[in-house]
Amino acid sequence: MSVPTATVTTAVRTSASSSRRHSPGRVLQRTAPLIPAVVLLGMFLLGPILYSLYGSLTDRAMSGYKAAAPQFVGLDNYVALLSDPAFLKSILLTAVFVFASAIVGQNVLGMALAVLMRHCARPLASLVGGIVVVAWALPEIVAAFACYAFFASEGTLNSMLAFIGLTGPKWLLTFPMLSVILANVWRGTAFSMMQYNAALAQVPPEVKESAAIDGASAAQSFFRITLPIIRRSIATNLMLTTLQTLGVFTLIWVMTGGGPGTSSSTLPVLAYQEAFKFSQVGYGTAIATVTLLVGAVFSVVYMKLLKPEVD
């Protein structure tokens, strides 16, 4: 546990030196209350990240000689990744999964639900909201089993189709990505819906009223007034749902196991398989590190695009 200890001393030293540069004491006095949080973040967030970065530079395995004495292999794992068709396919699948289920599915559907709920009768809104929130309230593993039971070859969906005389395909085999995307939309929409519901409530009605007086249609008023006002909520929500979706593992693992073959192996599933099934812990860690970078890139893009900090 040498890494966290080092972080503690560095944190203290940094704050001490910066206080000398600015007016003495003042900066320290302001930063001091942050130190526990910084230390904890360093220990439980930065520490593991650095350790995973280091792990990805080794050939560590679960068993065998490479488990007893992993070698430092530099960037070999990353070089191997770039020539691994399974990895390149996985990047693509991850992009599809995030785009379809988080950016389009959860956000658009969540926004649509939130807007519709503000315009319909109250009991109906509560009822719909309640049903949607159930998916969110379920523990992930339970939701995953529910989706598995729904999409399985002899599951709920195909039973319902059979009831009206249709023979459904084997969803999890024929359309594995579609199945997990729908499942993730089902599970995550409630979060966006609640976010947007709260955001829409903040839009001052008088702005929309004056727009209506000036002859703006409902669509114009939504796209040109409401959306810009709640821009920050959209940015935050996009970021949260994207990062959450990027890390989805249980849902996919339970429903398809990343298969058939590798046709639904997103980055977290691939990382798990490489590390814990095929024993290549170093290689799996490299995939996890790439996932982390992808998340960071998404975050930066959202921050730049939507400028949440400027009003």
Partner 1 sequence: MPHSPAPLTRPVPSRRSFLIGASLASAAAALAACSGSSSERSSNTLKVAYQKTSAFTQLEDLLTKAKGEFEAANSEVTIELVPIEAEQDQYFTKLALMNGSDSTAPDVIYEDSFQVRSDAAAGYLMPIDEYVEAWEDWDQFVDSAKEAGLGDDGKLYGVSMGTDTRGIYFNKQIFAQAGLPEDWQPTTWDEILDAARTIKNKVPDVIPLNIFVAKAGGEMTSMQGFEMLLSGTDSELLYNADTQKWVTGSQGFVDSLAFMDTVYAEELGPGLDVALDATIGNRVSTELLPEGKLAIAIDGSWMPGGWISGDNPWPEWEETMGLAMMPTQNGQGEGFTSMSGGWTLAVGSKCANPDAAFQFISIALNYENTLKYDTENAQVAVRTDVAESEEYLSYNPSFEFFSGLVQYTHFRPTTPDYSQISGNIQIACESVVTGDATPEQAAATYDSGLIAIVGEDGTEAAS
x/- map, 21-40, partner 1, by CB under 8 A: --xxxx-xx--xx-xx--xx
Euclidean distance between CA atoms 252 and 266, whole angstroms: 8
Residue 33 DSSP class: G
**Near partner 1 in 153-182, by CB under 8 A:** 153, 170, 172-173
Residue type, 61: A
**Near partner 1 in 56-75, by CB under 8 A:** 61-68
What is the total count of residues that contact partner 1 (CB under 8 A)? 44
Applying CB under 8 A, among 261, 297, 300, 301 the residue interacting with partner 1 is: 261
User: Rounded to the nearest whole angstrom, what is the least distance from the CB of residue 249 to partner 1 in the complex?
Assistant: 15
Applying CB under 8 A, among 52, 236, 250, 279 the residue interacting with partner 1 is: 279
Please identify, using beta-carbon distances, which residue of 130 and 261 lies nearer to partner 1.
Answer: 261
What are residue 77's phi and psi, to 5 degrees?
Answer: -60, -40
Q: Is 13 in the site for partner 1 (CB under 8 A)?
A: no
Give how far Cα 121 sits from Cα of 49, 198, 199, Å. Answer: 49, 18, 19
What are residue 58's phi and psi, to 5 degrees?
Answer: -120, 170
- Which contacts (CB < 8 Å, 24+ apart) does range 51-57 have? 51/3, 52/285, 52/288, 52/289, 52/292, 53/289, 55/281, 55/282, 55/285, 56/282, 56/285, 56/286, 56/288, 56/289, 57/282
Euclidean distance between the first and final Cα of the chain, in Å?
Answer: 44
Q: Is 51 in the site for partner 1 (CB under 8 A)?
A: no
Q: Is 257 in the site for partner 1 (CB under 8 A)?
A: yes
Q: Is 152 in the site for partner 1 (CB under 8 A)?
A: yes
230 Cβ contact list (under 8 Å, min separation 6):
196, 199, 200, 202, 203
Q: Is 299 in the site for partner 1 (CB under 8 A)?
A: no
User: Rounded to the nearest whole angstrom, what is the least distance from the CB of residue 254 to partner 1 in the complex?
Assistant: 10
Contacts with partner 1, residue ranges (CB under 8 A): 1, 4-5, 8, 12, 23-26, 28-29, 32-33, 35-36, 39-40, 43, 61-68, 80, 152-153, 170, 172-173, 257, 259-263, 273, 276-280
